[in-house]
Amino acid sequence: MRGTTINPKGFHKDQIKFYMILIPLALFMALPIVYIINHAFKPLSELYAFPPKFFVKNPTVDNFRSLAKISNGSIISIGRYTFNSILVTVAVVVLNVLFGSMAGFALSKFEFKGKKLIFEINTISMMFVPAAMLIPRYLVIDKLGIMDTYFAHILPLLAMPVGMFLVKQFIDQVPNELMEAAVVDGANKWVIYRKVILPMIKPAVATVCILSFQQVWGNLETSNMFSTKESMRTLAFYMSTLISANNTVAGQGVAAAAALIMFVPNILLFILLQSQVMNTMAHSGIK
């Protein structure tokens, strides 16, 4: 149709109908984030107001002060829990990206016996809920003798089937001609993986980073199941104990502050990498 522009670079009047749908939808989807932020800064009078108020009228940092006061009185400092969480999170994210991308590279570009079976097993494993794996994981960790160590936090979270699936689907679209050209130039498999594959699958790597981070940052299973020493537990576990131990009127403010602290890193990471995630969803074959 004359006068109609498809996917214009700037604003065009034909886009108005899309904005009329997308802007209200985006605002609606942002409501939980706005509520979590407002809830953390509500005084007790507003936390228990009826009918409940969505936006805070008299913002205060008293909830965070109460959280800091409780934390200062604990035997193990909050810095120790934070260090444990950061160490475990970084290790899990890095290793998940490394193992997932290497496995996806092998399954996508090489032929070997059992290739299809391995990929099918990985796909089927995405159907299992985490609760079904608690006992097997506990038995494995116990037999390995790594209870109350950082390995007990890291090892159970390294297997992320959905991450490998996404990476494999993305690598499938990398032209074989690029690999052949690298081989002609004298590159081995490791060089091809590092200098050809990884630069071309950055969106998939970013997605795996986000999924891994979300999996480990708020994880309570490893601290509950595989750690008996308080000094080996994570920030997510510590925050959960504060909430449960202070299940009083004042404790609800502490719970709101703790929930915001645990939520902020997730949303910041997603904001930083969201464009890469959208590229992964568009090119990985997932509809």
Domain boundaries, the chain: 78-228+264-283
Cα angle 164, 167, 171; round to 5: 135
The alpha carbon dihedral of 113, 117, 123, 129 has a sign of negative
Least confident of 19-33, 47-61, 101-115, 216-230: 47-61
pLDDT band at 285 (very low <50, low <70, confident <90, very high): very low
Mean pLDDT to the nearest integer, 227-256: 77
DSSP string, 219-274: --HHHHHH--SGGG--HHHHHHHHHHHT-STTHHHHHHHHHHHHHHHHHHHHHHHH
pLDDT at 64 over 70: yes
Assign domain 78-228+264-283 to a CATH class: mainly alpha
pLDDT band at 286 (very low <50, low <70, confident <90, very high): very low
CA atoms within 13 A on the CB side of 26: 6
Rounded distance between C-alpha atoms, residue 223 and residue 76, angstroms: 15
pLDDT band at 7 (very low <50, low <70, confident <90, very high): low
Mean pLDDT to the nearest integer, 6-34: 78
Measure Cα distances from 42 to 30, 58, 64, 211, 253 in Å: 19, 7, 11, 31, 8
- Strand ranges in 166-212 using DSSP code E only, listed in sequence order: none
pTM of the model: 0.80
Over the chain, what is the mean pLDDT?
82
* Whole-number pLDDT of residue 243: 66
DSSP string, 68-107: HHHHHTSSS-HHHHHHHHHHHHHHHHHHHHHHHHHHHHHH
Mean pLDDT to the nearest integer, 10-31: 81
* Whole-number pLDDT of residue 227: 86
If one counts every other C-beta atom within 10 angstroms of the C-beta of residue 234, the result is 27
Rounded distance between C-alpha atoms, residue 105 and residue 168, angstroms: 6
Rounded distance between C-alpha atoms, residue 41 and residue 11, angstroms: 38
* Whole-number pLDDT of residue 1: 43
